[in-house]
């Protein structure tokens, strides 16, 4: 979501950010970060609403030119079908990027197991929903027991609690400052850029 939104803006486009009606909060927080960073009003427009009403209208509108979507196969195929139907007043073919439920597996075969263990832990418990996140682990029988035990220990270290009170989100603060600097045109090389 963040990558698709910022990429569209970087290419000179405005964005209507319509989150899933099931989980709008993190997209609302992202929008707040954009505002705090100095994103001009009207460049990114946060518009929560029902997919069956607002979402369909947005996809079918003759002035909608590009649709980027991450979510389920069924919704993605519906968007594809609706976007392919030319409406009165439409002057271009709508482009779509549809990332639909193609989560990957991680194969654990005894090599680099610590990196794979981190990938499984982060995908399942630390990074939230992402189309490219690992949704299953295929583990070689020879390393299965050891991998599972080390994964259990690693997952046990993941903090549980109120997200607003968790210090691990310090990256959001750093990102806010770095993004603000970019919007102001500060091209100075900084740590992490």
Q: Examine the residue annotation and report whether 173 is marked as an active-site residue of this protein.
A: no
Residue 67 exposed, middle or buried by CB count within 10 Å (0-12, 13-18, 19+): buried
Q: Which residue in the list 47, 60, 99, 178 is annotated as catalytic?
A: 99
Instruction: Say how far apart CA 92 and CA 32 lie, in whole Å.
Output: 32
Position of tokens 């990332």? 99
**Coil/strand/helix, residue 67:** strand
Sign of the CA dihedral running 46, 49, 52, 53: negative
Q: Examine the residue annotation and report whether 32 is marked as an active-site residue of this protein.
A: no
Q: How far apart are the two ends of the chain, measured CA to CA in Å?
A: 20
DSSP 8-class letter at 98: E
Q: Which residue in the list 60, 131, 146, 178 is annotated as catalytic?
A: 131
- Angle between helices 170-183 and 25-37 in degrees, nearest 10: 40
Instruction: Say how far apart CA 135 and CA 105 lie, in whole Å.
Output: 6
Catalytic (active-site) positions? 99, 131
């Amino acid at each position: 979501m963040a990558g698709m939104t910022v990429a569209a803006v970087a290419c000179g486009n405005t964005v209507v950010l319509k989150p899933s009606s099931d989980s709008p909060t993190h997209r609302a927080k992202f929008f707040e970060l954009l505002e705090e960073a100095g994103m001009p009003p009207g460049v990114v427009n946060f518009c929560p609403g029902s997919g069956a009403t607002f979402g369909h209208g947005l996809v079918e509108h003759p002035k909608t030119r590009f649709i980027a979507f991450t979510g389920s196969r069924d919704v993605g195929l519906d968007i594809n079908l609706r976007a392919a139907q030319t409406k009165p007043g439409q002057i271009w073919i709508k482009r779509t990027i549809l990332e639909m439920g193609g989560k990957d597996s991680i194969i654990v075969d005894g090599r680099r197991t610590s990196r794979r263990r981190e990938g499984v832990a982060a995908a399942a418990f630390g990074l939230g929903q992402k189309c490219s996140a690992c949704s299953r682990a295929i583990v070689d029988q020879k390393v299965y027991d050891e991998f599972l035990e080390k994964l259990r220990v690693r997952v046990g270290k993941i903090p549980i609690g109120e997200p607003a009170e968790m210090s691990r989100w310090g990256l959001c603060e750093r990102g806010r400052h770095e993004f603000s600097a970019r919007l102001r045109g500060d091209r100075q090389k900084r740590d992490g850029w």
